[in-house]
A and B are shown apart, each in its own frame.
Chain A
Amino acid sequence: MSTPTVIGTHVEVRDLVVRFGKRTALDGLDLTLDTGVHGLLGPNGAGKTTLMRLLATVAKPTSGTVSLLDHDLRDHRQLRRVRRRLGYLPQHFGYYPRFTVREFVEYFAWLKEVPADRVPTAVDRAIERVGLLDRADDKLKKLSGGMLRRAGIAQAIVNDPDILLFDEPTAGLDPEQRVEFRELLRAIGVDACVLVATHLVEDVTAACTDVTLVNGGRSVFRGTPEELAAAADDSVGGDSPIERGYTTVLRAARQG
């Protein structure tokens, strides 16, 4: 495990507004994240993926500010520095089916400008951390959906990022793989800022140090998973305290 390289705020979002035509995806969102594993919850259309794409530097805000690792993303040189320290697994993960796992991760190490002397070790380590070392020389087109997802995670972590963004990372993973993935998240979260956007509240309970709930493009809750569970109204439906807490907060936000 590498030593933390960031002292201070990893992610700072202020009064963030994103509009697509007449639709407002994010509406004055504020968010501050530091080291740890952070959950991002919310219903469909709440703005989770829009926020992830902004933090991944592939989208730009309509207004407001986004600062990553204390860098201003409007400056091209600072943006490039941030990208070297960023890992991202999008919801719809694209890949090159004829590449092997090792070639794919190595290619992204090149794209992420990992120093050449560190690449072989970094690639092996990333593949090992996602448990694909025995399939490293298999082509991606031969892998199952879960394995592909893990190859996607490997490319995201190959540069030992300080900010790691996972959009629905456990989709396609079986229960055992999800448990292993949560362990990986906890390990990475010791010295990096990991943001996990998900629909699966049990992932948040198991792996996240805190959780942000967004609705209608705004943050409606920020606290620990336990605090979200404690917010539950026993009269609302749900199989677990955190599910009930999620539903309670969401309904309150809609009524308010």
Chain B
Amino acid sequence: MLDEILLRVEKPARYIGNEINMVVKDKCDINFAFCFPDVYEVGMSHLGLQILYYFLNRRSDTYCQRVFAPWIDMEAQMRSHNIPLYALETGDPIKNFDFVGFTLQYEMCYTNIINMLDLAGIPVYARDRGEDDPIVIGGGPCAYNPEPLADFFDIFYIGEGEVYYDEFLDMYKQHKKSGGSRHDFLKKAMSIPCMYVPEFYDVTYNADGTLASFKPNCPEAPPKIKKAIVKDMDSVFYPDKQLVPLIEVVHDRVTLEVFRGCIRGCRFCQAGYIYRPVREKNAQTLIDCSRSLVANSGHEEISLSSLSTSDYRQFKELANRLLELYSKDKINISLPSLRIDAFSLELMQRVQEVRKSSLTFAPEAGTQRLRNVINKGLTEEDILNGSALAFSGGRNRVKLYFMCGLPTETDEDLMGIVDLANKIVDKYHEIPKEERPRPISVVASTACFVPKPFTPFQWSAQATVSEFMRKTKLVKTSMTKKQVKYTYHEPETSSMEAVLARGDRRICDVIFRAWQLGAKFDGWTEHFKYELWLKAFDETGLSKDFYACRERSYDEILPWDHISIGVSKKFFINEAEKAKAGEVTPNCRAECGMCGAKAFGCGVCYE
């Protein structure tokens, strides 16, 4: 049956497995379905999946298999032929697995999770699951505020998977042998400090809709759940091979994880706080790693992965050695998230000998005042000098990334976006005419600011959809130079993202209702249906603006207060106040900000 269906869908190779380096095993004690709630090509490009897949499969008692969200056409075929959601390795329905684990990378995937559970024939609400159903577990960055998904998950794992999964699976095996109940296991799991089991916590609300209390309802449930982090990045497991897809995916390349965390402390950036402290890998570790990954994959590109590669202390050494090792084999080195300076430009020149790619800056805000508010250390001078350097090297295309709707933003800040783009054009024209054969092109784009948990802006109100529209229109009409192109994100998606990012447990029903009404693949512009979400809010009697556009007070109980990332609330309040005053905070290497992450006993805090 599957054979005939596969010929009727787009890209059937999404649904067959059989990739290079796929793990094949006989029967195992523990069957783990690793689910990525987006389409195959996106999920297969995700480093976390590649790491955890081999990490779990290195255990002889565990078989970790992959599951992705079937695309709309495949879902329709599966539903009409009663084919339940299956794992790619064996084709077995995931309903029969011990664990169904979802990685939560992006809020707009939430309806896909519901859809996948439903397609699998697993009760969507955790409370409806029985002894024979899998344990549904969530992890990844969005798990740091698990509340909008709390009703659908049995457990959330907070933090980095390499730390406690062994202990957790050993515990499960023992429990299965002794024939204990599901309920007992969930209680037992809470002895691991990063495990959050929502059913063992009760929430009450005030008349104004804010949280009145959030309390454990059994003695085993800890009042605070602590994120797990890897202390030593050189000894931690890293795969010596990668799954190599049979079809083109978003990133077809070897990925080297250079470090976790970021020293910068940009105040809008959740990743910059939840992955604290910065922990680097040694360049030698990375080189060793790259050899086996390249040999076992046949990839033609190596990418360095981190939040800010230029901040890697051994960056020059690593880049030079990689180039030395691989340029003769025609393997490219890709360097995302670089700060533009003389060295990075020279490096880019050496890496991409043929095609000169465009230059990318992320000033995020249009004026220095607002950049200080968000603690983005990039100055106008940096951008103009960097551009000038690049122009003299023959480049003529610049991309600029901004956000609109940032806290304290005024129209003057928005006009700053226009100014900056214009100044770059002027900078290009300073070059004598005969030395610039091609015209300059600047593309400025704005994304809508979404306040996230565990950032100094977690209390901030988001701009309303109509405010966003006014702001982007203002920028658009002010962009008059023909060399500058302006693009912007539609605000409706960002507005929903803000609700899902900072929502509480009541949002579960909104997500469920939106899914019932037909919402899925909300992260895909062509599939996002705003009106369904508005209807879902309407029917559940909740207010979207209450979650997205309301300024919260410091003493309000936040839905994610029971999760500890090791950065104190006091620090965030202090940062929020400094933001309002336009004061910057130095990066972790320049001066310790006393955020609290030093308690983990590792990384940049001890350099």
A and B are interacting partners: no
B residues neighboring A (CB under 8 Å): none
